Amino acid sequence: MYSVNGAIRDKEVRVIGADGSMLGIMSSFQAQQLAEDAELDLVKISPNAVPPVCKIMDYSKFKYEQSKRDKENRKNQAVVELKEIRLSMTIDVGDIAVKTKQCLKFLEAGNKVKVSIRMKGRENARSYQGVKVMQDFFEGLDGKAVQDKRPTTEGRNIIMMLSPVKA
């Protein structure tokens, strides 16, 4: 990831001191000598710059702090899962209430929800009824969800994507 000490093979480098002060452009050998005199490491922090930027620092301490930051960022990252709820075109009111309640649990947990209907036989000719069932299901969520994707017929399936409302 970072070139350190002897791995820095550039002729000239821009050097930043341990205290953050700019020491200027010098040969990598001179910069290495400065780092050794301060009993620290020379680390190439910006290899794409012209000339490359190196900093005099304690590399092991830098790596430790970097890993702590990365760990903290992973901990704070929210994982959004995609949950699926399957309906049928002939679903009854009570069953829709149960599915709505389950959908609300998923949405409150911060997950996205894919609502689908699989059409069988003659239902393919009446896909508009499935879209109506989907709309009724969405209205039953009382504005606690946003439609990412409106109900659309894709082959034998009718699919709608929902996500939680931002607070």
Is the pLDDT score of 49 beyond 80? yes
Q: Is residue 160 part of a domain?
A: yes
Is the pLDDT score of 78 beyond 80? no
Q: Are residues 96 and 47 in the same domain?
A: no
Q: Are residues 92 and 141 in the same domain?
A: yes
For CA atoms 138, 142, 145, 149, give the dihedral sign.
Answer: positive
Tell me the three-class secondary structure of the chain, residue by residue.
Answer: CCEEHHHCCCCEEEEECCCCCEEEEEEHHHHHHHHHHCCCEEEEEECCCCCCEEEEECHHHHHHHHHHHHHHHHHHCCCCCEEEEEECCCCCHHHHHHHHHHHHHHHHCCCEEEEEEECCHHHHHHHHHHHHHHHHHHHCCCCCEEEEEEEEEECCEEEEEEEECCC
**Residue 119 φ/ψ, nearest 5 degrees:** -90, 140
Percent of the chain with pLDDT over 90: 37
Taking residues 39-61, what's their average pLDDT?
Answer: 90
Q: Are residues 157 and 94 in the same domain?
A: yes
Taking residues 63-88, what's their average pLDDT?
Answer: 88
Q: Is residue 13 part of a domain?
A: yes
Per-residue pLDDT tens digits for 136-161: 899 888 888 999 999 998 889 999 99
Q: Are residues 101 and 156 in the same domain?
A: yes
Quote the pTM value: 0.55
Q: What is the pLDDT of residue 74?
A: 86
Domain hosting residue 132, numbered range: 82-164
Q: Is residue 141 part of a domain?
A: yes
Per-residue pLDDT tens digits for 53-65: 999 999 999 899 9
146 CB-contact burial (10 Å; exposed 0-12 / middle 13-18 / buried 19+): middle
Is the pLDDT score of 79 beyond 80? no
Q: In which band, very low, low, confident or very high, does the pLDDT at 126 lie, cut at 50, 70 and 90?
A: confident
Count: domains in the chain? 2
Residue 148, domain CATH: 3.30.110.10
